[in-house]
Each structure stands twice: as structure tokens, then as C-alpha cells.
Structure 1
């Protein structure tokens, strides 16, 4: 696997880490929602599920896209041979542009998931 500016900045090992982040965050969201329901907390408390749902979306997107937002912000890439600094300004700009897009997608998915959870718990339970 090769580093491709604005396309791919992580290899298989880093991808697995992002997948674990996503799965772990999704589990945290499920446990939190279950706690809100089981403990009869106010429905507005479900809004806090946006945080782990954002994390789940972030992990899944980074895994799928083979791209780490944090690495883009730091100006590095790791496609399997350790972290390397990005020297080319155009490559760095391409990575940061993709990072902004991925972050926006993850936030949108987190918010959408929170709306689904809120509506489902409010009207189905």
C-alpha cells in the first residue's frame, strides 16, 4: 500500500485500529441508550448519544476510506512502515481538505443516528 495525498494515509494496521474505535464507540452508544431507557432518565439525555455515535461514524469512515483525520492534522501518514512526515505542501493541503470532509460526514452521521435513537425511544418504547 502506498500513501496517496488526499486519498489514503493509513495502512491495514491503522485501519484495524479505526475499526475498533468505531465498534467500541457503537457499543458505548448502545449501553448509554440502554441505561437511559432502563433508568428512566429524561428523554433529552439521549442527545448525549451523539458523542459515541460520532465516534462510531468516525471510526467506520476512517476504516473505509483508509484515511486518518488525526494524521492529516499532524501532517503524517502511516501505510505500514511507521509514521512519516508529509513534506509536500500540496499533499498536506489535500490531506487536510479530505479530513475536513470526513469530519463533517462523521458529525452528520452522528447527529442523524442521534435523531433516529431519540425518535425510536420516544415513539416506540
Structure 2
């Protein structure tokens, strides 16, 4: 695997870490919603599920896209040979543009997931 500015900045090992982030965040979201329902917390508290749902979306998107938003922010990549610094300004700019797009997608997915959770709990309650 090779580093491609604005396309791919992580290899298989880093991808697995992002997948674990996504799965763990999704499990945390499910546990939070279950607790909110079980303990009859105020319905508005379900809005807080946006945070772990955002994390789940972030992990899944980074895994699927083979792209780490954090790495883009600090100007590095790791496609399997260890972390390397990005020295080309155009490559760094391309990575940061991709990071902004992925972050926006993750926020939208987290918000949409929260709406679904809120609606489902409201209908089922």
C-alpha cells in the first residue's frame, strides 16, 4: 500500500484501529441508549447519543476510506512502514481537505443516527 495525498494515509494496521474505534463507539451508544430507557432518564438526554454515534461514524468512515483525520491534521501518514511526516504542502492541503469532508460526513451521520434513536424511543415508549 502506498500513501496517496487526499486519498489514503493509513494502512491495514491503522485501519483496524479505526474499525475498533467505530465498533466501540457504537457499543457505547447502544449502552447509553439502553441506560437512558431503562432508568427513565428525560427523553432529551437521548440527544447526547450524538457523541458516541459521531465516534462510530468517524471510525467506520476512516476504516472504509483508509484515511485518518487526525493524521491529516498533524501532517503525517502511516501506510505500514511507520509514521512519516508529509513535507509537500500540496499533499498536506489535499489531506486536510479530505479530513474536513470526512469530518462533515461523520457529523451528519452522527446527527442522523441521533434523530433515528430519538424517534424510535419516542415511538416505542
TM-score band by shorter chain is over 0.9
- Give the equivalent residue in structure 2 for 1:47: 47
Q: Distance in 2 between matches of 1:12 and 1:45?
A: 37
Q: Secondary structure at the match of 1:100?
A: helix
Aligned to 2:73: 73
TM-score, reference length from structure 2:
0.99
Question: Could you say which residue in structure 1 is the equivalent of 2:83?
Answer: 83
User: Would you say how many aligned residue pairs link Structure 1 and Structure 2?
Assistant: 125
What TM-score do you get using the length of structure 1 for normalisation? 0.99
2:21 aligns with 21
| Corresponding position of 1:12 | 12
Q: Secondary structure of the equivalent of 2:35? A: helix
In structure 2, C-alpha distance between the alignment counterparts of 1:32 and 1:124, rounded to whole Å: 17
What is the alpha-carbon distance in structure 1 between the residues aligned to residue 28 and residue 71 of structure 2? 24
- Where does structure 1 lack aligned partners over 5 or more consecutive residues? none
1:62-101: CA deviation from partner (whole Å, max 9, x where unpaired): 0000000000000000000110000100000000000000
Query: What are the equivalent positions in structure 2 for 1:52-63 lying under 5 Å apart?
Result: 52-63=52-63
- Between the aligned partners of 1:36 and 1:120, the Cα distance in structure 2 is 13
The Cα of 1:22 is off from its aligned counterpart by: 0.0
CA shift, 1:124, in A, is 1.7
Q: 2:68 and 2:83 mapped to 1: Cα distance? A: 12
Q: Match for residue 38 of structure 2?
A: 38
Measure, in 2, the Cα distance between the counterparts of 1:87 and 1:98: 17
Unaligned 5+ segments in structure 2 are: none
Which residue of the partner structure matches residue 108 of structure 1? 108
